[in-house]
Amino acid sequence: MKFSELNLIEPLMRALDHAGYEQPTPIQQKAIPPILEGKDVFGCAQTGTGKTAAFTLPMLQLLGNGSAKKRHIRGLVLAPTRELAMQISANMKTYGHHLPLRHTVVFGGVSQNPQVQQLRKGVDVLIATPGRLLDLMQQGFIRLDRIEFLVLDEADRMLDMGFIHDIKRILAKLPAERQNLLFSATASPEIMKLVKSMMKQIVRVSATPKVQTAELVDQSVYFVAKDKKRSLLKHVLRQKEVSHALVFTRTKRGADRVAKDLVRAGINAEAIHGNKSQGARERALKGFKNRSIQVLIATDIASRGIDVDKLSHVINFEIPEVAETYVHRIGRTGRAGSPGKAFSFCTPDEMPYWKDIHKLVRKDIPEVRKHPFALS
């Protein structure tokens, strides 16, 4: 399929052509038509599937009758982090180059004055992080009573970072008649509750994750008692071959506990998750990329956007409950022709999850039997 088959208007097609885009990704093929029809859409898609264009292109088309006179905010995009908000803004600039629409982005951690100046000029689309948006609303700089189009991007990450109450306060200020789009990498019960509270007739679309595991990743599993996992991790990380490791935990608290334990043992480690400040996350990521930090412990949601060259090891300290998550985790290593290894620590109570992974990857994953903490 080509973009020309998606009924996009000529100014958008011209911008796509200039940017060198010809073929829409699966999530774009599935999401753009119902959005253009004015329907509420829940999109289940990982980062890197092209979901930003999946909502940006139809939103620009539907709001494309922008007036150069008095402007008011008609489209609102909520994003969990400054980086994502800026990325959406950059995409909107690219795709909306030939349209008479004006957009701006607001986020915390910087002076609000330049953002307020842009708002005073009048904007059609606002991209915002929840905290800064509420601040500016309370100060009277932003009104949302004419919103026609609402997008919640990476909604699961917003919930993970504790933004649910902020989101509810923002939703309460929006007109009831509007088009809603929500994008999330997971369809957890919490996400589905949010979807149902926002949308009446839901069109659900998804980009099926590629289930084939990276060919260059050497996978193995350690069966271990739950109370021996941290000792096993220290044992594995002290091997010479483990130069640079990304360790996955299921929870934020678990990530912190593992990081503290490793630091006490003299291993250079940091945790990264939604409860960490923006600055702390950026410092940890920078240190991991330049290899001043040997081990980064992350939750699945916080790990998005971590793209490190020649990462030698991914370690599943806890087995993910969703089998596809395993594939995404281990895909962080074994990239661009470089070999990588993935170790998984599996306790008896995690065996059902491990069996699901086995079914999904359809290959034997060898067990490492010779280690000091093997199950007897």
User: What distance in Å separates the CA atoms of residue 284 and residue 286, rounded to the nearest whole number?
Assistant: 6
User: What distance in Å separates the CA atoms of residue 344 and residue 224, rounded to the nearest whole number?
Assistant: 10
24-70 residue pLDDT tens: 988 999 999 999 999 999 998 876 678 899 999 999 999 986 555 56
Residues 6+ apart with CB under 8 A from 335: 214, 216, 309, 311
Q: Which one has a higher pLDDT value, 74 or 312?
A: 74
Joined tokens for residue 299 = 């939750």
CATH class label, 3-206? alpha beta
Domains 3-206 and 217-361 share a fold: yes
pLDDT confidence bin for 305, thresholds 50/70/90 = low
Q: What is the CA 27 to chain-centroid distance, rounded?
A: 15
pLDDT confidence bin for 101, thresholds 50/70/90 = very high
In the predicted structure, residue 235 carries a pLDDT above the cut 60: yes
pLDDT of residue 69: 59
In the predicted structure, residue 288 carries a pLDDT above the cut 80: yes
163-187 residue pLDDT tens: 999 999 999 999 999 999 999 988 8
* Residue extents of the structural domains in the chain: 3-206, 217-361
pLDDT confidence bin for 311, thresholds 50/70/90 = confident
Residues 6+ apart with CB under 8 A from 284: 270, 271, 272, 276, 293, 296
pLDDT of residue 188: 82
Mean pLDDT of 111-130: 94
User: What distance in Å separates the CA atoms of residue 281 and residue 47, rounded to the nearest whole number?
Assistant: 18
CATH class label, 217-361? alpha beta
